[in-house]
Structures are given as structure tokens and as C-alpha cells.
């Protein structure tokens, strides 16, 4: 468990470094408007290949950590349900930033653990209701809601110049 958290912290720090680098800013520009990025002279295709490579490395590290923790690699680790869970984690936390992905996965795991223990037959229905509520009332995810509430609670600290 401690090894997994240490690897998570290292990968998160490396990804934060990549996101805040000029390469990361160019990747954000490509995501927002690839035509505009192409018009300013950026080569899109090589950057996409690098982004897919980075995501493959991170997914591989996650798979290796899962295999170490569970002791087995089965076909259920590549099922549709596992992919949908990852998407739900991203929607819950908020797509577009690393903190959203991290908080979304923590919230999802806690929700799954406690709600499935309380109601093992209908926890997926409750998860669906939570997902619909987030999509309707917090489309940026719960991380954006938390940041907004923190800014309202302490306006002096979060004041923009």
C-alpha cells in the first residue's frame, strides 16, 4: 500500500511537471483548438503520438501496481466495467486537470466501498444517480465545486491580481 502511494505521488509529480511545461501548454492548446495550434506553427501529429505514449506509460504503471497488489492479472481487468469506472471517476472529479482525476478516483473508491457495504444490491443505481446529479449540477466535477467554495470562503487568499 505504501509503495502504491509512493508511486502515485511520483507519477503525479511527473505529470504535473509535464502539464506545466511548454509541451503541456501546447497539448492544452491542441485540445482546445487544434486548427489554431496548427496555424501558429505547432506540429500536431507528433505531439499526439507523445501524448498517447505518456498515457500508455501511466496506464502500464497503473496495471503493474494493480498486478502487484492483487497478485493476479485476469481478463476482468480489461473489461468494459473497468473502463466505465475510470470514466465515472473522471466525471466525478472533473476532467481537464490532474487534481480532478485524483479526487474523482478517491471519491469513487470511497463511495463504492461504503455504499456497496450498506446496500450491495443497489449501489450501482445510487452511483448512477450521483453521476446524473454531478452532470446536471456540477458539470466541471466536484473538484471545481470545492475550489469555488474555497474561493468564496476565503476571498482574500484566492484574490486574482
Helix axes 123-137, 80-93, angle to 10 degrees: 40
Q: Which of 54, 73, 92 is the last residue of a domain?
A: 73
Please report the pLDDT score of residue 132 as a whole number: 92
Q: Which of 73, 91, 124 is the last residue of a domain?
A: 73
Range of the domain at 11: 1-73
Q: Tell whether 33 and 86 lie within a shared domain.
A: no
Q: Tell whether 66 and 144 lie within a shared domain.
A: no
Q: Tell whether 92 and 159 lie within a shared domain.
A: yes
Distance (Å) of CA 4 to CA 83, 136, 155: 20, 34, 36
Q: For residue 158, is pLDDT > 70?
A: no
Residue 156: band (very low, low, confident or very high) from pLDDT cuts 50, 70, 90? low
Please report the pLDDT score of residue 15 as a whole number: 94
**Structure confidence by residue, pLDDT tens digits, 65-113:** 988 888 887 777 777 888 888 889 989 988 888 898 899 999 999 988 8
Query: Is the Cβ–Cβ distance between 102 and 93 less than 8 Å?
Result: yes
Q: Tell whether 48 and 68 lie within a shared domain.
A: yes
Q: Tell whether 117 and 67 lie within a shared domain.
A: no
Q: Tell whether 57 and 32 lie within a shared domain.
A: yes
Q: Tell whether 87 and 69 lie within a shared domain.
A: no
Q: How many domains are contained in the chain?
A: 2
Q: Tell whether 68 and 84 lie within a shared domain.
A: no
**DSSP code for 82:** H
Amino acid at each position: 500500500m505504501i509503495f502504491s502511494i509512493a508511486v502515485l505521488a511520483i507519477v503525479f509529480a511527473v505529470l504535473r511537471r509535464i502539464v506545466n511545461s511548454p509541451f503541456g501548454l501546447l497539448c492544452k492548446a491542441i485540445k482546445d483548438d487544434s486548427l489554431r495550434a496548427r496555424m501558429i506553427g505547432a506540429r500536431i501529429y507528433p505531439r499526439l503520438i507523445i501524448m498517447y505514449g505518456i498515457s500508455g506509460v501511466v496506464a502500464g504503471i497503473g496495471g503493474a501496481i494493480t498486478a502487484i497488489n492483487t497478485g493476479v492479472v485476469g481478463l476482468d481487468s480489461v473489461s468494459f466495467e473497468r473502463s466505465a469506472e475510470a470514466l465515472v471517476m473522471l466525471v466525478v472529479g472533473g476532467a481537464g486537470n490532474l487534481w480532478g482525476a485524483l479526487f474523482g478516483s478517491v471519491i469513487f473508491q470511497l463511495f463504492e466501498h461504503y455504499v456497496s457495504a450498506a446496500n450491495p444490491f443497489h449501489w450501482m443505481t445510487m452511483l448512477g444517480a450521483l453521476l446524473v446529479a454531478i452532470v446536471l449540477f456540477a458539470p466541471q466535477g466536484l473538484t471545481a465545486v470545492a475550489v469555488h467554495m474555497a474561493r468564496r470562503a476565503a476571498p482574500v487568499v484566492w484574490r486574482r491580481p
